[in-house]
Amino acid sequence: MIWARPDYPEDRDQVTAFRQGLEELGWSDGRNVQIDICWGGNTVDRERQCATDVVLAAGFLSVTAVQHIRPTLPIVFVTVVDPVGAGLVDSLDRPGGSTTGFMNYEFSLAGKWVELLKQIAPNVTRALVIRDSSNPSGIAHFSAIQSAAQSHGVEVSPVGIRDAAEIERAVATFARSANGGLIVEAVAGASAYRELIIELLLRQLHSGRRRPYFLWA
């Protein structure tokens, strides 16, 4: 099993659910099956070292990391956005190769995040998008967001997730002007800064200067 990081609450919950599901089917770790959990941290070299006989991989980066080990390696993926559009499988009904799994949604759904933000706050004319530019899923998300933003008259400003200081500066600067909203892309890297982002928004709310409109995709 390859997951991003043990400090991601979603990843820990998914690992627990997977173990429980296997036990309900009569498979118990250490008795009739061996489960190796690898916290790859979205690091390609680390995740490739984790691959063994059969791989359950969470997220696009983990899947692509182990797909290149050998073409016959059986891979089941979860929490992947648009596996067809991302090139992981040939089609949903006939994946082809040795990779298959469960899709979250198509990339185009990211455009709905802009629409939802406008429904929450019709006066929003600017949106700060916290994204992972190194993740192909994040790139596709942002493209859909930009397209939807143009049709709704929203100016989009991206900010990367390279470090906490960059996010803090970007949010503080963005919040100085009115009619702004925040979208956090649904990528694994953003979860690492969950507490920081929420703290920054609460700080703006308590300051009384601006009311933050927030959408965590």
The CA distance from 113 to 213, in Å, is 12
Mean pLDDT of 126-151: 86
Higher pLDDT, 107 or 152: 152
**Burial track 29-49 (b if 16+ CB lie within 10 A, e otherwise):** eeeeeeeeebbbbbeeeebbe
Q: What is the tens place of the pLDDT at every residue in 7-33?
A: 777 778 888 888 899 899 998 888 888
Predicted pLDDT of residue 214: 61
Q: Please report which helix (H) or strand (E) contains residue 112, including its range.
A: helix 110-120
Please give the order of strands across the beta sheet that includes 180-184. 155-159, 126-130, 180-184, 213-216
Contact 50, 40 (CB under 8 A): yes
Q: Looking at the chain, how many residues does it have?
A: 217
Highest mean pLDDT pick, 39-48, 118-127, 165-174, 189-198: 118-127
Which pair of structure tokens corresponds to residue 192? 């690492």
Report the range of poorest mean pLDDT among 60-69, 88-97, 118-127.
60-69
Contact 80, 63 (CB under 8 A): yes
Domains and CATH numbers, the chain: 2-103 (3.40.50.2300), 107-216 (3.40.50.2300)
Contact 106, 81 (CB under 8 A): yes
**pLDDT averaged over every residue in the chain:** 83
Closest CA to 130 of 89, 163, 105: 163
Mean pLDDT of 76-84: 87
3-state secondary structure of 14: helix
